[in-house]
Amino acid sequence: MRDHFELRDGDLAGRIGRLSVPRAGVTVETPALLPVVNPNIDTISPVRLESEFGADILITNSYIIKTNEHLREEALDVGLHEMLDFHGAIMTDSGSFQLAEYGEIDTTTEEILQFQRDIGTDIATPVDIPTPPDVAREQAETDLEITRQALADAEAADTGEMLVNAPVQGSTYPDLREEAGRHADATDLDVFPVGAVVPMMNAYRYDDMVDAVAAAKRGLGVDAPVHLFGAGHPMMLALAVALGCDLFDSAAYALYARDGRYLTVRGTEHLEDLEYLPCTCPICTEYSPDDLRAAGSKEQEQLLAEHNLHVTFAELRRIKQAIRDGDLMELVEERARSHPAMLDGYRALLDHVDQLEREDPASKGAFFYASNESAHRPEVARHHARMDRLTAEGHVLLTEGGVPSGDDFDATWRVVPPFGPFPRSLSETYPLTAEVPERLDRDAYEQAARGVSRLVEENPDAAFTLAHDDWPDSALARVPESVELESLSTVSERLADERDEADEDDLSDGDDAGVEGDSAGLSDE
């Protein structure tokens, strides 16, 4: 077990953790954002990141510092913390980004790790190969071998108390990502960045990003702190946290501000298009869009960068509270409705439901069914798996409610879409207390039918009757043929007709009696 990373709470694969950074003497609560600080550009100073935004960790580029004579001498002379005027933890990149952009860099893993240690880095990075998406498999495998050698060189280096990253590469090949994660997890390195996902996010390929991270997580241990390199847009943070990512870094807050772009949890807006500022951060409460547009370019850039950071840190706090409350999936689903590509990412997340279910808490506060995707949540998969533990004997009625046509049953179980059947004694247990809309979609009924099918398969000696409330044909087709089907609405209509007929008979009998009585009375007279 890695003693520098402690898990405190969790929901889905997301978790609140404590990352101890011994060289800095600080503990960082995760999920955490590492604002990117360019040592050549002072958009928002590190001291302000710490004092005004609450940043207790940031990231800068050691290769830029190493190749700039002035910066190199200052960093070696006074150390990175004093040079940047920052008291929290500092992670440094190695130049791998420059390697990906320009094809080569003038350093090795041994050299850059030594330099990072010399300038006081707290979390260092070796020179890995960030293989872009969609390359030939042969290239991805070759690059992965180079990255493995970099990890071996990092293990062999004398790094003291400095933590060291073990990047997980593999392009868009899930098996290579999983293999790379397993290899990295077996090292004695400390933090595990999933690399080369920026091109996917820039192209709005959130589904591919999800698949890459999910594959890496399958190879990594639960106790491995995972850093999603280059990810920091507030729109996608909930999705990434739900996958099990703990650290995020991004220069987007500054780069977007430079381009007049305004971040929100629903996407990116251009300042020139805004008539109102849909935010309550200090910038948006003090300034109007006209004020920001009237500001000088430098002031406007800084104000937008501040807003972008405020909204990003606020989203991380919202995510942490969602983890505490056990409703992270509801937040992910809400964010997924902000963009079709985010919805693709959410659906890709649900493709890994069995993987999520292994880490998702068994009990939470509430389950809100908000869309057909809700039918595929981990809680539903877990309930179906638990059918294997339940025993049904004799003739069992599975009913959504209402009145069945007969009462010759040995047991009566409830059926609630999307979960399916369960004994009545479990009715008040999570997630069977789910808030479900009256107008359900086909996915909910089809998942309930899968639950029925699993129960029948596990109890071949029992007989079952399913009393359903007009399930769609697509759901009924998934119910085993051995199950007797009964539509509650049809039964209700038949019973209503029978009651009406009985009432008419009673009324008819009463009329006859009245006539006879009157006749008798007249006769007596």
Bridge partners (DSSP) of residue 269 are 262
Out of 11, 56, 93, 360, which one is annotated catalytic? 93
Residue ranges per domain, the chain? Answer: 5-251+350-357, 372-503
132's CB contacts (< 8 A; 6+ apart) are: 100, 171, 196, 199
**CA 239 to the chain's CA centroid:** 3
Rounded average pLDDT per 10-residue block, the chain, 525 residues: 89 97 97 94 92 96 92 96 96 79 76 96 95 96 95 96 97 97 97 95 96 98 95 95 96 94 96 96 96 95 97 97 95 95 97 94 88 95 90 93 77 94 92 92 96 95 93 96 90 52 54 39 33
* Superfamily of 5-251+350-357 according to CATH: Queuine tRNA-ribosyltransferase-like (3.20.20.105)
The angle at the Cα of 348, spanning 344 to 350, to the nearest 5 degrees, equals 120
pLDDT at 189: 97
pLDDT at 234: 96
pLDDT at 241: 98
pLDDT at 107: 84
pLDDT at 100: 61
Rounded CA separation 264/311 (Å): 7
- The encoded tokens of residue 68 equal 């700039």
pLDDT at 179: 97
pLDDT at 388: 87
pLDDT at 39: 86
Q: What's the pTM value of the predicted model, to 2 decimals? A: 0.89
Q: Which residues are annotated as a binding site?
A: 128, 196, 279, 281, 284
pLDDT at 524: 35
Residue 518, CA distances (Å) to 169, 339, 386, 510, 521 in order: 98, 79, 69, 12, 5
Q: Is 394 helix (H, G, I), strand (E, B) or coil?
A: coil
Q: Which residues are annotated as a binding site for substrate?
A: 128, 196
The answer to whether 93 is a known catalytic residue is yes
Q: Which residues are annotated as a binding site for Zn(2+)?
A: 279, 281, 284
